Amino acid sequence: MIKVKSLSVIYRGTNAVVPAIRDISFAMERGSTCAVIGPSGCGKTTMLYVLAGLRPDFEGQVEVAEAPVRPKRRETALILQDYGLLPWKTVRQNVVLGLELRGVGKSERLSRCEGIMNDLGLLAVKNLYPSQLSGGQRQRVAIARAMAVQPDLLLMDEPFSSLDALTRENLQDNLLEIWSGRQMTVLIVTHNIEEAVFLGQKIIVLSPRPAGVLAEVENNGVGTPGWRSSQEFFRVCTRLRGMLVKEERQLCAARAGQGS
Amino acid sequence: MRGTGRTGFLGSPALPIIAAITFLLSAWHLLAVFLQLAALPIPGVAFGTFLERITGDLGFHLQVSTYRVLVSIVVSLVLAVPLGLFLGREPRFDAFIAPLIYVVYPVPKIVFLPVIIALFGLGDFPKILLIVLVIFFQILVTTRDAARKVDQATIDSILSLGASRLQVYRQVIWPAALPDVFTALRIVTGTAIAVLFISETFVSREGLGYFILDAWSRSKWDEVYAGIIAMGMLGIVLYGILDFLDRRVCRWKHL
């Protein structure tokens, strides 16, 4: 579904040129999930923008669904960190937005969104505005809006990072349910180790800026019952934590070396 | 009324409005009694004249003035808002237009009144033109700055949903700028009435400005104040319309 080969992105600011991503390669099967984990500000979001077609100024090859990545691919859905909900639209108006932009008629877009809003428990709040919702509800609206256009690729940037632990796990469960019911590929960017292990059949560990692939971890227990409390889950978490800690130590040592 | 929503007098309970009006009239009354000037009659006299004349010539002048101000505001809005939204989102055009705006904006447009009258005569058009010249820039600059500060992440999410350029304007930039457009409208309403007054006092036979100046030249102070009361009414009606629209259109701001 996704094929990334030697992807590099360079930020060109007004007075500085900063490499954000250096030589990333990975691939994702159709219908699989993948978690990209790495330190904050390492270029994960930039990579998501490239995959969504919103950043055309990259080097390397990026293919989505066997075709070069392009803007406005209709089957790609993107959920950004702050959810990107429109404050002047009600929950329902936000959810149908994707269909509205595609010119789907009013009655059809409402009927097509009923199901997903029901799945995510949004029918009771459908006439409220985003500012009247809790963080978890807002995230549900963002997921419903993305699902309404029936994507085959879902890209999420730190989707649950601002939520409390229980709400977060609840939404992670919801996401897996939605995923398992559809032929959908999910790529999720996170800095939370448990989240990556719970959701990603493949976990890509990135190095600090400029981001490069440090390791690729196969994680096949995703979606099996009781996964979150299984021995294997904790084993993978520990392994991942080990990698990230080691990386952090090396980085600190390198900085100290530079400083002396 | 909870939250960050602005409340206008239409939405607020009646008691504060009555209290405010009572306070204003009492202060006026006390000042008039204390000063004992012919040029400052007590409110009772002024309101008596107002009620007597509003069904006649004063009512006619109020109508003329209301029409001029309303048309001026609507025309300015239609011209300034789309241009402001566009300039706010297209820095390349703004870089060219902004210096032009900053040069023309502070020029006192009132000085063009004789030129405008020489060109367009004494009807409604020159007055409307003058008001538009003044308030157009106030709406333009506010709208442009509002469009500029729209969050890029919001635009990116809409783009990822497949929005076209025009849809970004319609679905994001315009609604995001709307509350600021209403703020601009509240400010320009006061300006528009002030400019209208001046334009109506200059070789004119119609409008509240003329009514007040004419009464003044005859030292008919009760009529002067009746005209001023009519101008206050005009303000109340315009702000009432704005509050009503704001409440309906920017519902998410008044939760």
* CB nearest to A74's CB, from B153, B162, B255: B162
pLDDT for the residue A93? 94
3-state secondary structure of A179: helix
Look at the domain A2-75+151-259 and name its fold. Rossmann fold (3.40.50)
| pLDDT tens digits, one per residue of A162-188 | 888 888 898 999 899 889 888 899 999
List the single residue in B with minimal CA-CA distance to A142.
B157
Question: What residues of A are in contact with residue B177 (Cβ under 8 Å)?
Answer: none
Question: pLDDT 10s per residue in chain A (260 long)?
Answer: 889 998 988 888 777 888 888 889 999 999 999 999 987 777 888 899 999 999 888 999 999 988 898 888 888 999 988 878 999 999 999 999 999 998 888 888 888 898 889 988 899 999 999 999 998 899 999 999 999 988 999 999 988 888 888 888 989 998 998 898 888 999 999 988 999 999 999 999 988 777 888 888 899 888 888 898 999 999 999 999 998 888 878 778 877 776 54
A28: phi then psi, degrees, rounded to nearest 5: -130, 135
The kind and range of the H/E element at A168 are: helix A165-180
Distance from CA of A77 to the nearest CA of B (A): 6
Whether residue B55 lies within 8 A of chain A, CB to CB, comes out as no
Question: What residues of A are in contact with residue B154 (Cβ under 8 Å)?
Answer: 84, 86
Whether residue A108 lies within 8 A of chain B, CB to CB, comes out as no
Whether residue B163 lies within 8 A of chain A, CB to CB, comes out as yes
Length of chain A: 260
For the four alpha carbons of B41, B44, B47 and B51, in that order, the dihedral sign comes to: negative
Ranges under pLDDT 50 in chain B: 1-7
For A142, the token pair is: 């963002």
Could you state, in order of their start, the residue ranges of all structural domains in chain A? 2-75+151-259
Query: Is-contact A18 A41, C-beta < 8 A?
Result: no
CA nearest to B240, candidates B2, B5, B8: B8
List the single residue in A with minimal CA-CA distance to B167.
A101
Chain B residues 234-253 with a CB less than 8 Å from chain A: 250-252
ipTM (interface pTM): 0.82
